[in-house]
């Protein structure tokens, strides 16, 4: 007897009061939100031993007789599981369709559904479903009680036997339900897809808005590896956002669309870089500009505006000398001794010449790529 019990079982109820074990697994029960098994006209006894629960599921249009029988069967089953099945003692919980407790919904990952209308007692469908019960109750109500003074009157005519129609089990064909929800996005893959695109000139990448409407910001993390400082940019969710409407000024948006689902994968927000105001040389007034007070960024912008080509590894003093001398573009040649360059200068050179270098590369590794590029 103990071998017939399982951790998950479903029992249906016959009108005679007997329970019938249904050949339904837990996965089959949970499929299609339970609609393949849960019938509004039936009462089911569901055993879930791992949660130590026996659920009495009552359909909204099930008969009162079956609900009453289910309570007795659940109590017998509770005792049987302990004595013969050596199971834990399970708690019996009543579950009414349309008013299911949250515990029951979570146990089988079910979602709330639209409850069918309750059949009125006088409706034709109700009488067809509960023909035998209604007949019995009608005969009981109309039956007269006679005393012992005389014999009861004899019934005239032959009584007609009523045929009880039994519901035939039928297979329910599952129709594939088209999901209206957008597919879940892999944030890491979407971010990788976005950051691989080059940012237009005079812009920098400021924020990313992914398909789940979560805004990401770049976080620069610094680390020292064998004495060399390495910077890595990681995109992390922004938790603190301003309250109300956010207005974007001087921003450019780039929208990324998934070709398969035709949904938005991400939105990239680009911020335009403002060029710092550079003090131009006043030749006509005879004033001399002190370039030493300028930053390296200002010096490079000045050279860019005046068509002065500056090699990547040039430092501030070299750029100032270049501006004052004003050599021709052809005479500018970078220092071929790359070993004297810093790691940052080497990476800038590789970036300008489209040389792919990983952030984990050491100076010696980067030098090999630069020397191969020069060959």
Confidence of residue 54 (pLDDT cuts 50, 70, 90): very high
Q: pLDDT value at position 368?
A: 83
- Predicted confidence at residue 299, as pLDDT, reads 87
Residue 75 has pLDDT above 60, yes or no: yes
pLDDT at 333: 47
pLDDT value of position 45? 93
Can you tell me which residue has the tokens 């910001």? Answer: 217
With a cut of 90, say whether residue 19 has pLDDT above it.
no
Q: What is the pLDDT of residue 121?
A: 52
Sequence-separated (6 or more) residues with CB below 8 Å from residue 262: none
Q: How far apart are CA 346 and CA 357, in angstroms?
A: 10
Q: What is the pLDDT of residue 282?
A: 39
Burial of 22 (C-beta count, 10 Å sphere; 0-12/13-18/19+):
middle
The answer on pLDDT for 345 being more than 60 is: yes
Go through the domains of the chain in sequence order and give each one's CATH number. 2-107 (3.40.20.10), 187-272 (no CATH), 291-374 (no CATH)
Q: Answer whether residue 145 shows pLDDT above 70.
A: no
pLDDT at residue 235 in the model = 82
Q: Helices (DSSP H) in the chain: which residue ranges?
A: 26-30, 64-83, 102-107, 124-129, 131-142, 187-195, 296-305, 316-325, 343-352, 363-374
pLDDT digits (tens, 9 = 90+) for 152-174: 555 555 545 445 455 545 555 55
- For range 40-53, the mean pLDDT: 90
Query: What is the pTM for the complete model shown?
Result: 0.35
Question: d(Cα 17, Cα 159) in Å, to the nearest integer?
Answer: 26
What is d(CA 252, CA 307) in angstroms, rounded to the nearest whole number? 28
pLDDT given at position 287: 57
* In the predicted structure, residue 98 carries a pLDDT above the cut 80: yes
Q: Tell me how many helices (H) and strands (E) the chain has.
A: 10, 10
| Mean pLDDT, the chain, integer | 75
Q: Is the pLDDT of residue 234 over 90?
A: no
Q: What is the pLDDT of residue 284?
A: 45
What's the pLDDT at 92? 92
Query: Could you tell me the CA-to-CA distances from 243 to 240, 246, 247, 253, 317 in Å, in that order?
Result: 9, 8, 12, 21, 47
Better-predicted residue by pLDDT, 293 or 127: 293
pLDDT in tens, 183-219: 666 788 888 888 888 888 888 888 887 766 778 888 8
185-202: buried (b, 16+ CB within 10 Å) or exposed (e) per residue?
bebeebbeebeeeebeee
Is residue 352 over pLDDT 50? Answer: yes
Which pLDDT score is estimated for 89? Answer: 87
Task: Establish how many alpha carbons lie within 13 A of residue 135's alpha carbon, considering only the half-sphere containing its beta carbon.
Answer: 10
pLDDT at 228: 78
Q: What is the mean pLDDT of residues 264-286?
A: 64
pLDDT bin (cut points 50, 70, 90) of residue 81 is confident
pLDDT band at residue 135 using 50, 70 and 90 as cut-offs:
low
Please say if the pLDDT value at position 133 is more than 60: no
């Amino acid at each position: 007897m103990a071998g017939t019990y399982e951790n998950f079982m479903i029992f249906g109820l016959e009108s005679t009061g007997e329970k019938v074990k249904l050949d339904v697994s837990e996965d089959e029960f949970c499929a299609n939100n339970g609609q393949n098994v849960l019938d509004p006209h039936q009462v089911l006894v569901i055993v879930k031993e791992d949660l130590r629960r026996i659920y009495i599921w009552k359909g909204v249009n099930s008969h009162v007789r079956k609900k009453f029988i289910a309570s007795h069967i659940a109590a017998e089953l509770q005792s049987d599981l302990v004595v013969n099945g050596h199971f834990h003692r399970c708690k019996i919980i009543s579950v009414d369709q349309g008013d299911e407790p949250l515990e029951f919904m979570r146990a089988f990952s079910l979602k709330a559904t639209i409850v069918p209308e309750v059949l009125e007692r006088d409706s034709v469908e109700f009488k067809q479903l509960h023909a035998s019960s209604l007949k019995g109750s009608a005969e009981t109500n109309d039956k007269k009680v006679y005393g012992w003074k005389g014999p009861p009157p004899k019934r005239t005519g032959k009584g007609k036997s009523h045929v009880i129609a039994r519901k035939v089990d039928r297979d329910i064909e599952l129709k594939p339900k088209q999901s209206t929800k957008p597919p879940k996005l892999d944030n890491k893959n979407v971010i990788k897809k976005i950051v691989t695109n080059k940012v237009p000139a005079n812009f920098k990448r400021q924020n990313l808005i992914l398909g789940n409407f979560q805004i990401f910001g770049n976080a620069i993390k610094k680390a020292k590896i064998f004495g060399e400082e390495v910077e890595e940019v990681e995109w992390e969710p922004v938790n603190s956002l301003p309250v109300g409407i956010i207005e974007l000024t001087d921003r450019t948006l780039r929208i990324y669309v998934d070709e398969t689902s035709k949904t938005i994968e991400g939105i990239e927000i680009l911020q335009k870089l403002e060029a710092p105001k550079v003090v131009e040389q006043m030749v006509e007034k005879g004033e001399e500009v002190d370039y030493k007070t300028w930053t390296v960024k200002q010096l490079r912008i000045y050279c860019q505006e005046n068509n002065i080509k500056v090699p990547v590894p040039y430092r501030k003093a070299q750029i100032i000398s270049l501006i004052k001398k004003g050599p021709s573009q052809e005479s500018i040649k970078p220092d071929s001794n790359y070993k004297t360059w810093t790691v940052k200068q080497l990476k800038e050179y590789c970036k300008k010449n489209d040389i792919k270098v990983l952030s984990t590369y050491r100076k010696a590794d980067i030098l090999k790529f630069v020397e191969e590029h020069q060959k």
